[in-house]
Structure 1
């Protein structure tokens, strides 16, 4: 009886277990259906034709390379984020980079190495895409690379740093490198992880050794069929832990090397301290930010190479032993050659140390950034052998310091710093706050002389891709590269806005007649009616006489309200893309040397010339003391420079030399600005924010003749204040005003 009862209970339990197991399997299947990743059955790993479709042929006939990076992306981002990776750090990978996309993805750039995974779509989370990518790497490139990396399309990788790390490790051992994670606060304990388990966070990237890929590949399909969460990186880590026996690297340092900042803003600015110590940086979802970070990373590389070059040169010159701890780079023959030091107080106030009454000011952003970079580099060198010495130095703050700039050699610092001295070896483990002096030299590279043609070719190659891409947006045919890119244009097109002022135009015309010949320049007058018929007739006669010497074009604006920005734009629009334009004012005079500097300092696609003009004060303040002054102002020698006569207007940007194609690329002048002022500052800002370089220097041949300034109260407030400021600055010199005060 008991045996029959036992058999009956066993049968009942068997049926219940069967039903329960079937229910679990059905529920599991439904969950997988919801994730759209039923299994990898649609991918036959034994048949390459069913695995992938490639946009570009991906061959690898080279010997075994270091690293294969697989970037997972989607249709939404393949032509933006992914392409930006390909054009920045993807070009310098120590191995190969491949972009993995869904089967039906459309890629606009045929040069990108893209793999389209058959049967894979852009479902998120991308478990199927991730597992399929790992399997593809195993099937096609296992023996071609030592290391493999899984990356997202918003990740920046410092390729030189990851190469250093991977070459120090053995790829024949199973490794999974990345930032270890256990889930966020809401998910902690709900990811079905063991007490000693973790996973590598997918955002900052995950690196696998060849041995790890070899061991996990046969089990990828079973892992995909037995998912416990909806997180792709968690399930990938679980698969490696279960079948390879390795967790993500448990190391505090990994959160610095594989940096993940979920609170990152959409803008990148400042020194970006994380980049200096990081191998990867995540997330960079804005393509502009990716390019900015890439520039900063290249700057770090350049600084390291410069430092290495200087160190090697010092060894060759035996300066390390002969001039150790000496800040003087040269012997000064006279006292005036000695550069004074500036005093730095608590990293916030700067003033000169060689005078009693010296104005104090906050430290400029450029100097502060340079000082931060120098200190970071200094402490990196201090801590380069921290493990061997058993101690670590950490910067705290600057108490005070001295700094000086020697333009030919570099920047010198004497810094009084507070730092933390940390010993981490037992039994002497301790942390102390100490104060130390540091004597630092930031050396400049040697001056290198190259031919002008070679320099132009080098600059043009850098600007060519940007110019081509920009030309597609604005519809401009740049004909890159052309002769106007390599050699300066002979003909200068002066664009001159004019409204009345016949006598001033007469002086301008006479100056042109004296210095140029036909074929040297073309004068493009953008003419507004002056509401004075006699004045307009005089202007017409002057231009007719001028046509006998040079080519003159007129653009009639009629009775429209005067706007300098509109006038200059109208004049530029009449010219061809390869025209060299000089935007001028009728109050200017210049000589043939100025025309030569305009030609040489303006490089198409590369450089814009903003000359600094010598602006005269009112003759009433200097005429009596200047023997060159003539009552007939046109007979006065205007090429005289002293503090009484005038000043170089460093904050005036109205005169500019630029090629027409570059003018169009940056967007031209703001046409909404009416009347006087602001349009030049706005245009200068556009040039600064473009890829074009600004050439700005005093031009002694370019003189602004004084004239009365009328600041109308009808001007917008900002323009009115700028007008008053310009008027006040041009009335008289400080020396003249001081003399007047003394005579009171």
Structure 2
């Protein structure tokens, strides 16, 4: 037993010794092989410092791809590559000492689109391509003289023997042949594009610089035909082609193998689809199909490019990219197809240039933060300032560092702060900035209604934040073997600091997927703290349009707008008297402006008033007598009809209903009249009527001004004046000319942003909306119903804005308990809102307790 055990031990020892010796020999052989290979490559292409500095490196494992931008030769087969039949094929060695530019783009167009689509391409994304852009069309498009004049300012190639017929198989192959014969040794990559595609030049350059152009590549959105075309394209079940619309990209090695056989490919076509035939020709002579993202690129780059994402085709047809552009698929795409209306090429270009500006502003903020941080370590005089023209520091330009005295000149004064929730430290209670809570809506302490719907600007801000956060989280997802998907915002907080920017605290629900090693998929929640700093204030000095001083200008207006004010009325004699005085004063102001001033009033319109009166016969006689007196005051001469401010009375014998009253008043008007619905409780001025005329556009826009509503005066510290004694409260006995000087502040009243009863629109637009719901009786709801009808049944733009000269005078309001529940709740809510400001009500309660 002992001898057998010793033999076994010796055998095991000899086995491990032999294994170690074999590993050492193998390692030595590989080391010598790699050293000789490295020497051969170094002798082939000496690198330069300039080419290395211009290379773009994002991840360590992308260094191997820098060769395409650093080397001035075409490489041969590299030993040790393991490629399947579907992998890119290494090209044979071709000695070439000429440096190659990155990209040549050939845009196929037609003579009918040269002045529209082609010109738009040249003026938008054509300027962003890191290389050369040339347009190709049929050789018979222009005469020789026209051809020369056009080519002077536009890179146009007229292909001989080619027309503009569709499908453009011949144009496509002849374009590839032209690229090969004239530019085949000058560029790394060649792109075939249509004139209805948008290409993001900077993104395309970033994409191509991560791929080795020494190999044979055929890049685009891989397709196999739609359901209609399947079976007619003569493709095997495992064959594909690159769709022509979003663009096709070939490495120079692929072009070298395909372009010389363009004529033969034209003779051997099996379908009418140009992109299918190009793909068939590439497969035949370059032995490669259109690359699938998950097959090839994941072996050679650190990013898993999805071709359908970066070469984006929108199946909406003519409506593609005509709507909202701020979408994930648009921001992720390198090419976008189709853009049928060439005007949208300019729109896309402006959008993407805006994204570039945002990126540059963000880089600027980061630089300012670095300056602010490093200023405490650099041994420089902190009062030094940098002279951009001389390239040196002096004391007469913008300060780089804060000198402690002239902080307004310090470029990092506000934007140079590092991200922090404590950038601003309030010293007083009133300086504290409230946080809004984000849930199903927005809960805010600073608004009249504590719960509001999230508005479009707030939604857009959250969408931008989520998109940017997820891009940061997934920036190295492939290297880490995991990806995180956004699900929803559970809740959050936000605040806006007018000096520094907006702060967000969001609780995000996400899905964590790990696909490397042990595969798991689990839901996760994370708190995200975001700051969106404001960029520095930018001021542009605009020169005056003309140096000529103001002069009297005579304006002849042949067609005047007629504004008809419609007021429902039931009782309230003294209030109506004040309203008529207001109307009289406004009419006289407008009349004087039109006749005594050297300047013609900018709001040329006629004004009339329609009063719809409810009540008993005795009450009506009293109101009619008051109106007749105003008519006499507003008329001139012996004819009471000779006035620009007519007053018409319409009497109803039914129970008061505001909707029915306004419908009756509107029926007295013409379709071309501008209707201004107003209540007897309001005071107004001539400026209000001018804004009504300006902001109401027939067939295009309706105007619903936001009224300033007064609080109950008994809750003021002084019922008639504010703390400075400058503002008089409007009441039935006050002079209207003094009321216009009344200030707008939070102690006096509030903006009734939830009220829609005051509005202006043309009668023709009112009828298109469907009019008032005359079934609604009593107080409220008819205005909200009309506003909804404008939104649902018309294409009018609804314009709202506060008008400081449109004031709702406080009056006691009793809510009828017999009203329907929804109307009663609205009435009680309005009644509560008009009691007083929070501060005055608190003071009143404290005084009562004492």
TM-score range for the pair, normalised by the shorter chain length: 0.5 to 0.7
Cα 1:386–1:525 shift into 2, 3 Å: closer
Offset at residue 274 of structure 1 (A): 0.7
Does the 8 Å CA contact 2:713/2:719 hold for their aligned counterparts?
no
* Residue 94 of structure 1, aligned match among 116, 127, 130: 130
Does the 8 Å CA contact 1:589/1:704 hold for their aligned counterparts?
no
Encode CA deviations 1:10-44: one digit per residue, 9 max, x unaligned: xxxxxxxxxxxxxxxxxxxxxxxxxxxxxxxxxxx
Partner of 1:363: 454
* Distance in structure 2 (CA, Å) of the matches to 1:646 and 1:541: 39
* Residue 339 of structure 1, aligned match among 416, 420, 433: 433
Offset at residue 555 of structure 1 (A): 13
Cα 1:333–1:646 shift into 2, 3 Å: closer
* Residue 433 of structure 1, aligned match among 514, 522, 530: 522
Q: CA RMSD in A?
A: 5.9
Question: What is the SS of the residue equivalent to 2:542?
Answer: helix
Partner of 1:120: 162
Encode CA deviations 1:554-609: one digit per residue, 9 max, x unaligned: 999xxx975696579xxxxxxxxxxxxxxxx9941569xx99x9xxx99xxxxx9x
Offset at residue 290 of structure 1 (A): 4.8
Matched, 1:251 2:348: no
* Residue 306 of structure 1, aligned match among 342, 353, 361: 361
* Distance in structure 2 (CA, Å) of the matches to 1:227 and 1:203: 19
* Residue 641 of structure 1, aligned match among 744, 753, 756: 744
Matched, 1:507 2:609: no
5 Å-filtered alignment, 1:386-535, equals 386-425=477-516, 428-453=517-542, 483=546, 497=562, 504=582, 507-508=585-586, 518-519=597-598, 522=601, 525-527=604-606
Partner of 1:68: 104
Partner of 1:734: 834
Partner of 1:317: 372
Encode CA deviations 1:271-309: one digit per residue, 9 max, x unaligned: 421122221122333556555544543443333223322
Cα 1:590–1:141 shift into 2, 3 Å: same
Does the 8 Å CA contact 1:611/1:699 hold for their aligned counterparts?
no
Cα 1:502–1:565 shift into 2, 3 Å: farther
* Distance in structure 2 (CA, Å) of the matches to 1:88 and 1:445: 29
Does the 8 Å CA contact 2:105/2:192 hold for their aligned counterparts?
yes
* Residue 720 of structure 2, aligned match among 620, 623, 626: 626
Question: What is the SS of the residue equivalent to 1:124?
Answer: coil
* Distance in structure 2 (CA, Å) of the matches to 1:670 and 1:209: 65
Partner of 1:328: 422
Q: With the length of structure 1 as denominator, give the TM-score of the two structures.
A: 0.61
Cα 1:286–1:412 shift into 2, 3 Å: same
* Distance in structure 2 (CA, Å) of the matches to 1:527 and 1:287: 44
Partner of 2:259: 217
5 Å-filtered alignment, 1:138-287, equals 138-142=180-184, 145-171=187-213, 173-185=215-227, 187-188=229-230, 191-193=233-235, 197-252=239-294, 253-262=306-315, 266=320, 267-269=322-324, 271-287=326-342
Does the 8 Å CA contact 1:158/1:280 hold for their aligned counterparts?
yes
Question: What is the SS of the residue equivalent to 2:505?
Answer: strand
Partner of 1:351: 443
Offset at residue 100 of structure 1 (A): 3.2
Question: What is the SS of the residue equivalent to 1:450?
Answer: coil
Question: What is the SS of the residue equivalent to 1:636?
Answer: helix
Cα 1:646–1:325 shift into 2, 3 Å: closer
Question: What is the SS of the residue equivalent to 2:355?
Answer: helix
Partner of 2:472: 381
Deviates further, 246-255 or 625-634: 625-634
Encode CA deviations 1:412-434: one digit per residue, 9 max, x unaligned: 22223333334444xx2423324
Aligned length: 578
**Structure 1 gaps, min length 5:** 1-62, 457-481, 543-552, 569-584, 603-607, 657-667, 709-725
Does the 8 Å CA contact 2:564/2:673 hold for their aligned counterparts?
no
Q: With the length of structure 2 as denominator, give the TM-score of the two structures.
A: 0.54
Encode CA deviations 1:287-343: one digit per residue, 9 max, x unaligned: 565555445434433332233222222222239999877422222212332323333
Encode CA deviations 1:432-471: one digit per residue, 9 max, x unaligned: 32424233323233342424416x9xxxxxxxxxxxxxxx
